[in-house]
Chain A
Amino acid sequence: MDQPVGQAGLLSAAATYHIYQDGGIGDSQPQNMPGTEWKSKNLNSFVWGLIRQDLPITNCRLANGQRIGIEEIRVGRSKLQVLVTFLTLGLWAPTRISWRCCRPPSLSGTLD
């Protein structure tokens, strides 16, 4: 499932945050300009953050491996994830992370 948290319906998210790039050349590119579709992963943190689960992102690359960066991120918790965190007093704190990659710089010039 590559859906960000909250897209499954009204009761599917307890909290969501959205981080994105803004502005651009001449301030004519407000809000985001993603180059790929959403990918998502559930991450876990244990023992109040003493053990964390990292998320190395490897898909934000062109076919030759060149990195193109992350355009936007969604962070959120489903109601189940909040309940787990509450019941374990924070010993286990899962979160869902979703991201989309940037577009590569636009190639331009004259066809000659």
Chain B
Amino acid sequence: MIHWDDRGAKSWNGVHVTHKTRVAELIDVDNVEPGGTLVGGFDMFRNAGRYLDEVIGKARDAGARILAIGSGWALSDINITDGWLINTKLLNGCYDIADKYFEAGYPAADRPCVVLAQGGMQIAELNAYLELISKVPRSIKAAGIGNGQTVAGAVSGNTHGSQINFGAMPDFVVGLHIATGRGRTLWIERASKPVLNQDFCDKIEADLIRDDAVFNAAVVSFGTFGIIAALAVETAPIFHLDFPAISDIPHDDLKTKLSGFAAADPDLYHYEFIFDPHARNPVAMEGAAKRVPFQPNTPTPVPRWIVRDRNGYAPGINILRVVGLLRFLPPRIPTRFQFKQYRRLALLNKVRGTPGQLYTSSIYYLEGYTESAFGVSVKDAPKMIDISSAVAREVRLPSIGQVRLVHRSRATLGFTQHEPKTAVFEFGMINDERFPEFERRMDAALRAEGIRYTLHWSKNSGISPAQLDYMYGAAKIASWKAARHTVFGGDATLMKMFESDAMVRAGLA
């Protein structure tokens, strides 16, 4: 049901407090029926779609814009609105699907690995369900380092991780249940890969759209195609990842290695390297993991990214604002410190576990922190190391570079779509004026070198129409807009309601 019990405008910000806003309404939606019963099964999915459709209709009546929050995990302003903010985190059910609801052509052997997860389910909850609760243990096929996002938010914002032979989180989705405010929800699949049949759509009272262009656009759409009520997720039989000890590699050797990554080892699951743009002796840290068989009774690895000590002491919420005042320090000093701490606290080092056990970063409340992330082809990664290092030195940015390789995505505006693999370069930094300046200079330097790049939708300081065109080209942008028009049935009012400022600024309206 829709909670109407706390009406009125209120202040809101995401978990990283990178942007603040005042929303007209903050509304919770949960799985309780109007009669007061908490329902599961098809009733749950059908009702959630109805409630979301209803709340969109109410927003339309009120003349308000509307946006689903997810976990508020994005560092960019794609989750910022002044309209109605819909909290979907209470929609957190997850179900297996009986054989009879699959399309005849969908492989029978793969059917036990498909689950239907509500959009508000947290990644940590999905992992727990797949790996620990369900009768058939399974693992998600791709994961970012964090597990605090909702499934819908992580997919829609193109959370990437480092699955070099699979792809990013949008790539494990094979069906989308979306409420648009048109009175009937939609079930969207690829025409080239039909998964669930008309009986399934009837059960959730959704109109079926089977169209590759619409699906590929909707899967990375950051809240602008309506509200995602549920997603069909393809998983894999449970597996382990085996991370050997972190190794050190000189930049010259690393660049040679990256040039040959078009033919990655098929057993390689995860590959990343971390570099220090200010280092006088450039040596990167390298982490990689192979997918190996699940071994029962393997001890759960100690979680990484936990910054509190045994007595509970942890960095306070404003510590980065204080660190930001230490501008007199040469940037190589704090960057060297970060580089060492990253090895100690963050990188997966000599551990074995499931994705749900290993990818558990939920550090937030490190307020004032942000990240800038660029995707480039792995072929351009050697040049990108030099370019990004030069720009970081120019703007005196005290930040290490974290680079993860991802298989290319089919999502129309998926930022991990570079051939043959996308190298995602991420720079963590204090959220001050150096953030947009860093990205402006990176844009200029990459264009000067003729390197096509894409910016992470959740980690950027703002995307202009000219940048968007450089990143994706006119044909993909037009295809994405046409798909959006299809999903909303050409209803201009509904389309306007789902336009965020970030989307308008990028020229996607």
B482 within 8 A of A: no
A107 within 8 A of B: yes
The answer to whether residues A62 and B17 also contact, given A6-B318, A28-B360 and a CB cut-off of 8 A, is no
Interface of A is mostly: loop
- B90, B116, B133: the one contacting A35 at CB < 8 Å is B90
Q: How many residues of A contact B (CB 8 A)?
A: 39
* Nearest B residue (CB) for A72: B365
* Cα distance, A38 to B99, chains bound together (Å): 41
Determine, out of A7-15, A47-55, A87-95, the stretch whose residues face the partner at the interface.
Answer: A7-15
Residues of A within 8 A of B365 (CB): 18
- B42, B71, B128, B318: the one contacting A13 at CB < 8 Å is B318
B303 within 8 A of A: yes
Residues of A within 8 A of B11 (CB): 1-3
* Cα distance, A35 to B69, chains bound together (Å): 11
The answer to whether residues A63 and B32 also contact, given A3-B11, A7-B17 and a CB cut-off of 8 A, is yes
B362 within 8 A of A: yes
Per the 8 Å Cβ criterion, residues 67-111 of A in contact with B are 103-104, 106-111
1/0 per residue, CB under 8 A from B, across A28-65: the answer is: 11111111110000000000000000000001001111
Residues of A within 8 A of B127 (CB): 28
Contact at B89–A108, with CB atoms within 8 Å? no
* Cα distance, A28 to B45, chains bound together (Å): 26
Contact at B90–A111, with CB atoms within 8 Å? no
B443 within 8 A of A: no
B176 within 8 A of A: no
Per the 8 Å Cβ criterion, residues 17-63 of B in contact with A are 17, 20, 26, 28, 30-32, 36-38, 40-42, 44-45
State the Cβ distance, B18 to closest chain A Cβ, in Å: 11
Which residues in B have some Cβ–Cβ distance to A below 8 Å? 1-3, 5-6, 10-13, 17, 20, 26, 28, 30-32, 36-38, 40-42, 44-45, 69, 71-72, 87, 89-90, 92-98, 101, 116, 121-122, 124-125, 127-129, 131-134, 147-148, 200, 203, 300, 303, 306, 314, 316-318, 321-322, 354, 356-357, 360, 362-363, 365, 367
